[in-house]
Structure 1
């Protein structure tokens, strides 16, 4: 049974919901179960992303050709519409059998009754061989898995850092907070950069908790108390979190970072407008092509509790209303072949979810140009809180962080966010059951 959605997702406009539900009803499969006989409908967010969509199509074609019992049929959506499409379809009992889900939303969708636990034992790649951030669990049950992840890193020009006497850090010895701040001060004083640091503050949505909550966690704070996921008060607005907020705000007040970055932060970095960029592995190839051996790929700063980056990307799951769960799980098992992990990584410039796949990709294998990014994902990735409250937490953190950069008192902004999250938890009985 689907639970009543209380504040977990933004409401879908009536006209949009009507259109989306109509689209679901007319989609391949045609039944509210997501299956018509042995034909299974599969939804993906990859419309408009031809590289990744082509891999999905390849797996479907290979699966359909490998046996005669089941047939998977594809329906793709633009990523901007996808989550609302799923929410609308769930309300109308029109979910497909197979669908992809952004990793941080797995717990919410499982709690809401959208997803069913999956059993993919017998697949070529054991789940335990994957990066932890590429596996979605809730209440100790497996609900999803992904083929890849991405990693955040600082990018800089070695020549610029050397020119200003700034040490190029390593995983064995990352920058400390004091060292990082001192480096930014030198770069600002040089007068060569309007803002020496670029952290993508013009972004929106999930970018904010993905990019900045790992820094908060490195200070020792967190988005919620993970011991039971029953309160954010004392954690999101605790002493360490407020220290992060003060530091985050100081980046703007000291002129190290723009309150709101430009439309293309990576383009600005490559043009020399900024000296250091906090960005994702998805731009590593572009940076290397432009900067060559001058490119420095730098681990996250250790603010006291170890370097951290965000973890979890898109993953595959099965709907709870699928009437042919055996067939859906057969497709999921079939997809778990190393060659497909490799295909995804090559097509999307992402980090493969297994070491075996990484060894088959030149840039990611040991000694490869971007092997360090694999190590970042393995060592530093911190999954966003695995609670059904996460979509609400994400929204509250984004608002608080934006307010802090706009000049709000960090303690008050984080305190209000913590109170709002606690009210949401109370309203939903701590998402029990």
Structure 2
């Protein structure tokens, strides 16, 4: 009799385990996918793909959770520490280092299918590799470009740059000044968040900022190559008068009304801003996409791709990676890229003709893809704190003319190294 009751108890516990804890009935696995998609086309593409997965995989349901780029780092940190992190996490590669080293993200190295590993180039995998592990799948990326008023530039007679024959930084500064005057500006720099733009564009001049020693410790340096881009912005605003000081505190979208209104000839923006321009530009407004200026290292620039990661605490890592593999099948990666107006990292997806058309200037962006490299801050522990507490206010003050180059260097290096040291003990 006792044996029978033990048997009943064990069976009952097993049935209970199968019907709960997985978020569904009869043992169905439920995965929470937090997406940061925000443009309507992108949100629609993500939700459609989740629906297609769920229709084809009744035993593994994916729940779509809407996140926000504005608060993702703090929100994820809170959810990790509270044991409530989503299974599948959409983020950017330059936000992953602290989470990866902190043990919050799963190492995907042994879980990724061979197809996905081989389809994405090694230079993209480098953006999500920390130590010996891979902690995210890089899937979308965008170069920084110059969005220009085509009519203004053509009427001025300046040389129009191409990816094959870009402007140098010196030429860009000179042309911005030539395009200015009469209350109009050659360029508007939207630098509300100045750090990633400055560091990533500085790769073109050989700037690196972060340097890893033989002992593995990372320190900040601000050498001559690191000065070129910041000095160009500073001088355009404070010396030449070719860049509007009022846009320094703006986000990219904030500059578009002035751009459409003929106040600025050019605005440096991410490639995906083309969508807003297509949707918001007045009828007949003629615009073009130009490559960012080139330096000693040509058109090279840093990039922090959008990524998909899996929480270390997820009990369903295998199923989570299977969903990621589905989401990033070539045809699906193209859908995500078109929805976000960005470039896919996948080799097969990148071949899609829709990404190489002259319409909406897709071809200019795809011509720049080969020049994208891992952003300088990619694997630096403590980067979010360095960026928020040291670099952002220092660059903002330098660009506005409140401090000089020597003070900028002092704060980035001395104050910055104090911050990074706390993460490398």
Q: Which of the residues 218, 227, 231 maps onto 1:246?
A: 231
Q: Return the alpha-carbon distance in structure 2 between the equivalents of residues 155 and 241 of structure 1.
A: 24
The answer (yes or no) to whether the contact 1:133–1:311 under 8 Å persists in 2 is no
Q: Return the alpha-carbon distance in structure 2 between the equivalents of residues 148 and 292 of structure 1.
A: 31
Q: Please list the CA deviations of residues 107-153 of structure 1 after superposition, one character each: whole Å capped at 9, or x if unmatched.
A: 22101111011145436544443584475221142211143222211
Q: Which of the residues 329, 334, 346 maps onto 1:337?
A: 329
Q: In the comparison of the two structures, how many residue pairs are matched?
A: 392
Could you say which residue in structure 2 is the equivalent of 1:401?
A: 395
The answer (yes or no) to whether the contact 1:149–1:312 under 8 Å persists in 2 is yes
Could you say which residue in structure 2 is the equivalent of 1:301?
A: 293
**Is residue 267 of structure 1 aligned with residue 257 of structure 2?**
yes
Could you say which residue in structure 2 is the equivalent of 1:210?
A: 196
**Is residue 230 of structure 1 aligned with residue 217 of structure 2?**
yes
Whose Rg is larger?
2
Q: CA deviation at 1:243?
A: 4.4
Q: Secondary structure of 1:116's match?
A: coil
Q: Return the alpha-carbon distance in structure 2 between the equivalents of residues 239 and 298 of structure 1.
A: 26
Aligned pairs for 1:46-57 within 5 A:
46=36, 49-57=39-47
The answer (yes or no) to whether the contact 2:356–2:363 under 8 Å persists in 1 is yes
Q: Which of the residues 328, 331, 345 maps onto 2:320?
A: 328
Q: CA deviation at 1:333?
A: 2.3
Q: Secondary structure of 1:240's match?
A: helix
Q: Secondary structure of 2:407's match?
A: helix
Q: TM-score, normalised by structure 1?
A: 0.80
Could you say which residue in structure 1 is the equivalent of 2:241?
A: 255
Q: Which of the residues 53, 74, 78 maps onto 1:84?
A: 74
Could you say which residue in structure 1 is the equivalent of 2:310?
A: 318
Q: Return the alpha-carbon distance in structure 2 between the equivalents of residues 114 and 404 of structure 1.
A: 36
Which structure shows the bigger proportion of residues in helix conformation? 2
Q: Please list the CA deviations of residues 16-38 of structure 1 after superposition, one character each: whole Å capped at 9, or x if unmatched.
A: xxxxxxxxxxxxx996x999965
Q: Return the alpha-carbon distance in structure 2 between the equivalents of residues 130 and 347 of structure 1.
A: 22
Could you say which residue in structure 2 is the equivalent of 1:184?
A: 176
Gaps of 5+ in 2: 1-18
The answer (yes or no) to whether the contact 1:34–1:322 under 8 Å persists in 2 is no
Q: CA deviation at 1:331?
A: 1.7
Q: CA deviation at 1:166?
A: 1.5
Q: CA deviation at 1:405?
A: 1.4
Q: TM-score, normalised by structure 2?
A: 0.81
Q: Return the alpha-carbon distance in structure 2 between the equivalents of residues 172 and 281 of structure 1.
A: 18
Q: Return the alpha-carbon distance in structure 2 between the equivalents of residues 248 and 401 of structure 1.
A: 10
Could you say which residue in structure 1 is the equivalent of 2:8?
A: none
**Structure 2 CA distance for partners of 1:216 and 1:122, relative to 1, 3 Å:** closer
**Structure 2 CA distance for partners of 1:383 and 1:319, relative to 1, 3 Å:** same
**Structure 2 CA distance for partners of 1:161 and 1:60, relative to 1, 3 Å:** closer
Q: Which of the residues 103, 112, 120 maps onto 1:129?
A: 120
**Structure 2 CA distance for partners of 1:411 and 1:113, relative to 1, 3 Å:** same
**Structure 2 CA distance for partners of 1:334 and 1:49, relative to 1, 3 Å:** same
